[in-house]
Amino acid sequence: MIRLENIFIKLNENKTLISNINIFIPSGSLISIEGKAGSGKTKLFKILGLKDKVDTGNLYILGKNVNKLSRTELSALHSEISLVFEDNDLIDNLSVEANIILPLIMTNKSKDEIEIAVNELVSWLNINQILEKNILHLSNYEKKMVQFARAIITRPRILLLDNFFNGLDREYEKKISYLLLALKKIGTTIISFRSINNSAILSYNESYKIENFNLVRQ
Amino acid sequence: MNYKFIKYLGIKCFPSNLLDYLGHCIFNFFFSLVIIINIPFLNNILFHEHKTSYILLVPKISNNFEEKKDLIFSGLSLNTNIISVREVEKKIILEKLKKKIELIDEDLVPEVFEVTLKKNKKLDLEKENKKVDEVLQGAQILDKKIDYHKYNSDNYFLLGFSVFLFLSILVVLQIDFVKKLKVFLEKSRNFGAKDRDLLYNISLGYLLFQFLGIFSAYFSFNFFESNFKKPSIFTVENYETIIIFIFLQNMICYLNLIFTLRYTLRRIF
């Protein structure tokens, strides 16, 4: 469950990108947020992903007001949220496998749990050929897949995608969509931030659009 | 332990490049060598600086020389201010004498002992010499004349300079190390890692290479010393100083790393 209360997304002190956001996103829903480049989409994505602080208003994630959380509580909440960035967000000096399993290692999962999770995911996403490769030697598509694998390996309660389907092959888009629907079924809230001209296979529970500095329901 | 476990441990504790760890290892190795060379001086600062030393000369001119020498020692043992009477090796005396005198009949060289007193205590030389001379004619206690001021100021300067250099390089190396890890720290935090776990894991990996650098310096110096000359640094009287400085070096490196890591983590939301 995510609730945004009187949130303003600002570029700087003088310029507001999105004003007075008041929305409620229930658990297990598939949401789309559309907006042109520079409309504040990525800034909102980062705020929901706890990468940026909220300037004004309140953000409630899984029933907790993020402004009032301690470092430890915040890190516990972080482990429930996964983000897939539009650009490469992988650690270059680690291998593909190390990048994928990093969230599990960091949350002290056992060796067996990690192994099972990797085997399941890798065959589904068809990335077993590149597991030992260096990040620098991957194509953009492969990087995207590795980021996606890293995001869902922990089975997060909230999954945020920033322009993820951009430039993705129709066949892979379908495959990923099935995976997203499976995650949705187990209660994951999925929010996909998209450009306006993006085509989508998925049918969303709610679609929002950033228009005239406001987030409006479509 | 199997391969997978080691691999996971590697990701957790050694997220940086091997070169960064090796750099830190080599840096600690060389600084340890600087400390090792200064051990006698450091030992002096820590344990002997305020202790007074005298030289006891015992000439080998009498037939019952050994008995009389024992009598002198028995007399000295009554003085509670005396901590130790240590024999100075003949080789060292000859080396010093050869610098001033050309031909030496070794039998004429007296036995030399270093008499160490408690802090700020002094011997009544006139009285003690009278007693010693009564036991063995020609035996004498002399005030140890060392230019402490010159010795200390030179060594203090060099030591101070090397410590300053060590701290400066350490800070630069560790800031660079943590800077390279910033992405890793950021990601780990985003995946729900606790600060405490991050600090523990990263410092564990770092400390391993630090120990490797420090201990390999001590072991290689000890090996060199025991194979090529008589030990002068790894002696029983220096052990305390060696342990203190190994501990200090490790603590300084560890605390500075923790401080730098904490500072960086505090800046990540």
| Beta-carbon contacts of residue A109 (< 8 Å; ≥ 6 apart) | A117
Q: For B29-52, b where at least 16 C-beta lie within 10 A, e where not — what string?
A: bebbebbbebbbbbbbeeeeeeeb
Question: How far apart are the CA of B15 and the nearest CA of chain A, in angstroms?
Answer: 8
Mean pLDDT of A160-176: 83
- Whether residues B269 and A102 touch (CB distance < 8 A) is answered with no
| Mean pLDDT (whole number) for A104-128 | 86
- Percent of chain A exceeding pLDDT 90 equals 22
- Looking at the complex, does the CB of residue A98 fall below 8 Å from at least one CB of chain B? yes
Asked if B249 and B28 touch (Cβ cutoff 8 Å), the reply is yes
Answer for the pair A8, A40: CB distance below 8 angstroms, yes or no.
Answer: no
Q: What topology does CATH give the domain B51-146? A: Alpha-Beta Plaits (3.30.70)
pLDDT in tens, chain B (269 residues): 577 778 888 888 999 888 999 999 999 999 999 888 888 888 777 776 656 778 888 887 767 778 888 888 888 888 888 888 888 777 777 766 666 676 566 777 788 888 887 766 778 888 888 888 888 888 888 877 554 445 567 778 888 888 899 999 999 999 999 999 998 998 898 888 888 899 999 999 999 999 999 999 999 988 888 887 666 777 777 788 889 989 999 999 999 999 999 999 888 86
Angle at B12 between CA B8 and CA B15, to 5 degrees: 110
The answer to whether the Cβ–Cβ distance between A114 and B8 falls below 8 Å is: yes
Cβ contact (<8 Å) for B188 and A71?
Answer: no
Class at the top of the CATH hierarchy for domain A1-80+158-164+189-218: alpha beta
Cβ-Cβ pairs closer than 8 A, A with B, add up to 65
CB contact under 8 A, B192 and A78: yes
Beta-carbon contacts of B13 under 8 Å, excluding residues fewer than 6 positions away, are B201, B202, B204, B205, B208
Does B11 contact A80 at a Cβ distance shorter than 8 Å?
Answer: no
Best to test chain B binding among A102, A119, A136, A153 (most B CBs inside 10 Å): A102
Contacts of A101 in chain B (CB under 8 A): 8, 11
Q: Give me the pLDDT at residue B99, please.
A: 65
- Residue B260 has a pLDDT of 94
A83 lies within 8 A of chain B by CB:
yes
Token code pair at residue B215: 């201990």
Boundaries of every domain in chain A: 1-80+158-164+189-218
Which residues of chain A have a CB within 8 Å of the CB of B267? none
**Adjacent-strand bridge partners of A23:** A4
Report the residue of chain B nearest A83, measured CA to CA: B190
> Which chain A residue has the Cα nearest residue B6?
A111
Chain A, nearest residue to B199 by Cα: A106
Task: Tell which A residues from 134 to 193 touch B, by Cβ distance under 8 Å.
Answer: 154
Q: For A106, which of B7, B16, B188 is closest by C-beta distance?
A: B188
Contacts of B192 in chain A (CB under 8 A): 75-80, 103, 106-107
| pLDDT at residue B255 in the model | 94
Interval A4-54: pLDDT, tens: 998 888 887 778 888 888 999 999 999 999 888 888 888 899 999 988 888
**Hey, what are B98's tokens?**
């050869």
Hey, where are the domains in chain B? 3-45+149-266, 51-146
The pLDDT score that the predictor gives to residue B148 is 47
Q: In A, which residues are within 8 Å of B20 by CB distance?
A: none
The predicted pLDDT at position B211 comes to: 93
List of chain A residues whose C-beta atoms are within 8 Å of the C-beta of residue B194:
72, 75
What token pair was written down for B137? 């004619």
**Mean pLDDT within A170-191:** 87
- Quick check: A107 and B184 CB within 8 A? no
Q: What is the pLDDT of residue B231?
A: 63
Please name which of A189, A191, A127 lies closest in space to residue A158, comparing C-alpha atoms.
A189
Q: Of A76-80, A85-89, A122-126, A198-202, give the lowest mean pLDDT range.
A: A198-202
Alpha carbon of B249: minimum distance to chain A alpha carbons (Å): 30
Contact A102 B191 (CB under 8 A): yes
Please report the pLDDT score of residue B149 as a whole number. Answer: 45
How far off is chain A from B222, nearest CA to CA, in Å?
Answer: 38
Question: Model confidence over A45-103: pLDDT tens digits?
Answer: 999 998 888 878 899 999 899 988 888 888 889 889 999 988 888 988 888 999 999 99
Q: Which of A48, A23, A40, A9 is nearest to A160 (CA)?
A: A48
> Who among A51, A83, A106 is closest to B193 (CB)?
A106
Question: Quick check: helix, strand or coil at residue B84?
Answer: strand
C-alpha span between B248 and B254 (Å, rounded): 10
CA distance A48 to chain B (A): 12
The span from the CA of B188 to the CA of B12, in Å, is: 10
DSSP B235: S
Residues 22-51 of A with CB under 8 A from B: 49-51
User: Considering CB atoms only, which of A83, A89, A111 is closest to B8?
Assistant: A111
> Who among A51, A93, A101 is closest to B269 (CB)?
A51
Query: Is B11 in contact with A98 (Cβ distance < 8 A)?
Result: yes
**Residue whose C-alpha is closest to residue B20's, from B187, B210, B254:** B210
Tokens of B224: 């060199």
The average confidence (pLDDT) of chain A is 86
Interchain pair A94, B15: CB under 8 A:
yes
Interface of B with A (CB under 8 A): 4-5, 7-8, 11-12, 15-17, 183-184, 187-195, 197, 269
